[in-house]
Amino acid sequence: MPAFKTPFNGYSVKFSPFYENRLAVATAQNFGILGNGRLHVLELSPSAGPSPTPVSELAAYDTADGVYDVAWSESHDNLIVAAIADGSVKLYDLALPPSANPIRSLQEHTREVQSADYNPVRRDSFITSSWDDTIKLWTLDRPTSVRTFKEHAYCVYGAVWNPRHGDVFASSSGDCTVRIWDVREPGSTMIIPAHEFEILSCDWNKYDDCCIVTGSVDKSIKVWDVRSFRVPVSVLNGHRYAVRKVKFSPHRQSLLVSCSYDMSVCLWDYMVEDALVGRYDHHTEFAVGVDMSVLVDGLLASTGWDELVYVWQHGTDPRAP
């Protein structure tokens, strides 16, 4: 499967929930520390058999600061939310000409925005999390955020909606906790001190609405049941540096993917004893973005600081031409 070279360092990659061959990539110049950013929308040419399928760039949007994350709208196939390092949240419409984009720039976070997640149930809203220790809830019809969730004591690296309940989301933070929130409640409904070190990512199981996974600077991945969160359901060890992102499979209940500062992308089955299903060492720099396609079973995408975006079928070599 093809690799795509981005001019800047990759930060995040997401498959479109509408088109199986489309994906968005968030990148930032100079490793996201200083400089501009660029949001790429890539199109995989429909593959016909084993022939090489080149990747083409459908659109690219430049930003004044690094793009740390990207999320596809669940309601409009052309709508993209981008989390920008300067604290802004920008909306892009692929149907409009580049000059009309971004269609909106929401400037409320006071520091870097690291994650954006579109509500898959109530498809008009999304959340963003930021290094300003807050999570913000937005809807498309409002120019300002609906609500700010401020409880974490340090950077909030990730916030994801529960796939079943449109009001529930989880957030992972550098204060070493994961918090579960219900937007109808005034405060967080649950605090899980999941790791001894910063928690860089979390995700909900797509088949079990009580199951979450966390990835931490302590190099481990833990699977939790929010109904009994004193001990993790499973601890997955194998990464040699901090785990940057974890994500449950949309197709298999016990399968999850992770990427790490150790430059590898790993697939895990947390229900079996030999949990590590596969390890991909194709990146030559920190692997910071990974996604699994909802529309094609087993299709993976990853990006990293080596400025490369890989798309491959699980079990095949990402670097194979």
CA distance linking residue 321 with residue 316, whole number of Å: 11
The residue within the footprint of other proteins, chosen from 15, 61, 92, 131 (CB under 8 A), is: 131
Would you state the structure tokens that stand for residue 311, as one six-digit string? 């798309």
Nearest distance from C-beta of residue 110 to other proteins, angstroms: 11
Please, which of residues 101-130 interact with other proteins by CB under 8 A?
112
Q: Is residue 155 within the footprint of other proteins (CB under 8 A)?
A: yes
Q: Is residue 219 within the footprint of other proteins (CB under 8 A)?
A: yes
CA distance linking residue 287 with residue 302, whole number of Å: 7
Nearer CB in complex with other proteins: 125/216: 216
Burial category of 222 from C-beta neighbours within 10 Å (exposed 0-12, middle 13-18, buried 19 and up): buried
Site string for other proteins, 12-51 (x = CB under 8 A): -------------------xxxx-----------------
Nearest distance from C-beta of residue 34 to other proteins, angstroms: 4
Q: Is residue 241 within the footprint of other proteins (CB under 8 A)?
A: yes
Burial category of 114 from C-beta neighbours within 10 Å (exposed 0-12, middle 13-18, buried 19 and up): buried
Residue 193 neighbours by CB distance under 10 Å: 12
CA distances (Å), origin 213, targets 103, 286, 290, 318: 34, 21, 15, 25
Three-class SS state of 156: strand
Dihedral sign, Cα of residue 213, residue 295, residue 298, residue 54: negative
CA distance linking residue 89 with residue 91, whole number of Å: 7
Q: Is residue 133 within the footprint of other proteins (CB under 8 A)?
A: no
Please, which of residues 62-91 interact with other proteins by CB under 8 A?
85
Note whether 38 and 60 are within 8 A (CB).
Answer: yes
Using alpha carbons only, give the angle 118, 121, 127 rounded to the nearest 5 degrees. 30
Q: Is residue 198 within the footprint of other proteins (CB under 8 A)?
A: yes
Site string for other proteins, 269-308 (x = CB under 8 A): ----------------------------------------
Nearer CB in complex with other proteins: 155/226: 155
Nearer CB in complex with other proteins: 73/216: 216
Q: Is residue 96 within the footprint of other proteins (CB under 8 A)?
A: no
Residue written as tokens 């070279």? 5
Nearer CB in complex with other proteins: 74/306: 306
Q: Residue 166 is which amino acid? A: G
Q: How many residues bind other proteins (CB under 8 A)?
A: 21
Nearer CB in complex with other proteins: 54/193: 193
Q: Is residue 318 within the footprint of other proteins (CB under 8 A)?
A: no
Please, which of residues 167-196 interact with other proteins by CB under 8 A?
174, 176, 196
By CB under 8 A, name the binding residues for other proteins: 31-34, 85, 112, 131, 155, 174, 176, 196-198, 200, 217-219, 241-242, 244, 261
